[in-house]
Amino acid sequence: MVMHSHIGVLAFPFGTHATPLLSLVQKLAASTSGVQFSFFNSSSSNEKIFSTYVSGTFDNIRAYDVWDGTPEVFSGTHFEEVQLFLDASPMNYEKAIEEAEAETGFKISCLLTDAFLWFGCNLAEKRGVPWVAFWTSASCSLSTHLYTDLIQDAVEHKGATAEQKLSFIPGMSVVNFGDVPPEVFHTQNPTSLAVTIYKMVEKLPKSTAVVLNSFEEFDPIIAKDLKSKLQQFLNVGPLILSSPTPPSSVTDQENECISWLERQKDPKSVVYISFGSVAVPPGNELVALAEALETCKLPFLWSLKHQAMKLLPEGFQERTREFGKMVSWAPQLQVLAHSSVGVFVTHCGWNSILESVCNGVPVICRPFFGDQKLNSRMIEDSWKIGLRVKGGVFTKSETINALESILSGESGEAIRKNVNKLKEKAKDAVESWGSSSKNFTTLLEILSGAKGNTRT
């Protein structure tokens, strides 16, 4: 391959941040020639995503490990791990970038980074190359962060309460101040992540482009507003509908889940439950959810870590074996695509929401942290594609009400129609004439214009 450009890709190795960024890089790699992508990420995250998303078919993508900041023996929490990683940055990335430049013989010509990695702006300026930031969540959460100063001023100096609406932010009139991600209030809640995101807010207007794994028609008012605030605001998703899917071997767990779904008699009847890779409801809520499922006798597929399964009511799995299935991991995309699945009980992470929309599956929301509470508000009151658990926690009675509303009530029919309308808009967006495809072409032009064939 004759190299024309060398793109440095900086991933944030926590939650599900790195996976959609790799999907974007795979799509870019399949759409360009003469461009080398160096993917910088922690060794554990690289090992996980490169084994799951087999990118051996892309000879122009090379993974490089960056130090994650943790000692050899580490038993801290997820949030302590994030803190150590941020403390080790950006020196860990700079070292890996130097390694990639030496190995390829070409200087980096553009930096494509997770938006959290605000120092990508400084690294790009230092090299005199473009910086493209990839925001891995919804446009609504990006909007709240960009309006941080106004939101904080309204609370600290104008007495705004948790129940008041963000009426001054375009497209956010249904959102309460209490729904805003806690990281927005970085002066009151100065966690390392809150400070990191605020630094990102200061840098994003300098970026050549901000890229999202979404589509403009999801939130057109917010998209229009963000276009006025950023040099380029490019929705290029949903990537699961348009990125090349590398071949992968089918695991026993995948076969087990899909085989079970195939045995379900009624379409759109199964309750699929998963709270992502980080969040686990407290024991009393797991019990309430289990009791609701057992009372309703609805067919369910529940993905839950083995350790958390110990918190379920004694004998629950045995008593529900005829209509329910517990697994420690499920192939979520394949599950949501199955015709027997009727509702998704979720933590409201953005990737899960997109996957649900792309498969026309309504959701029941139990948010935990970050942008999840905001997402759940938009799901129920703006997009109208699901319901929030009343009070924000699982109780037996309210969980039963939510399940019955989605699966058999009139409100469930309206919700299903709404999510299917969004599904069609998502499919249109990635067609050759669609908004996401046009934005992707713009992104390709930015990268192809970043000529960097200067040898080291």
Residues assigned a catalytic role: 17, 114
C-alpha–C-alpha distance, residues 383 and 415, integer Å: 9
C-alpha–C-alpha distance, residues 238 and 419, integer Å: 14
C-alpha–C-alpha distance, residues 282 and 121, integer Å: 39
C-alpha–C-alpha distance, residues 125 and 206, integer Å: 10
Identify the CA nearest to 91 among candidates 130, 123, 125, 131. 123
Q: Kindly list the distances between the CA atom of residue 21 and the CA atoms of 134, 253, 345, 350, in Å, as whole numbers in the listed order.
A: 7, 25, 25, 13
The distance from CA 153 to its chain's CA centroid, rounded to whole angstroms, is 29
Following CA atoms 289, 293, 298, 303 in sequence, which dihedral angle do they give, to the nearest 10 degrees? 50
Residue 206's H or E segment, with its range, is none
Given the structure tokens 């994003």, which residue do they identify? 204
Angle between helices 91-104 and 120-127 (to 10 degrees): 40
Q: Kindly list the distances between the CA atom of residue 414 and the CA atoms of 274, 309, 379, in Å, as whole numbers in the listed order.
A: 24, 34, 13
- For 242, residues 6+ apart whose C-beta sits below 8 A from its C-beta are 27, 430, 436, 437, 440
C-alpha–C-alpha distance, residues 292 and 298, integer Å: 9
* Contact call for residues 414 and 384 (beta carbons, < 8 A): yes
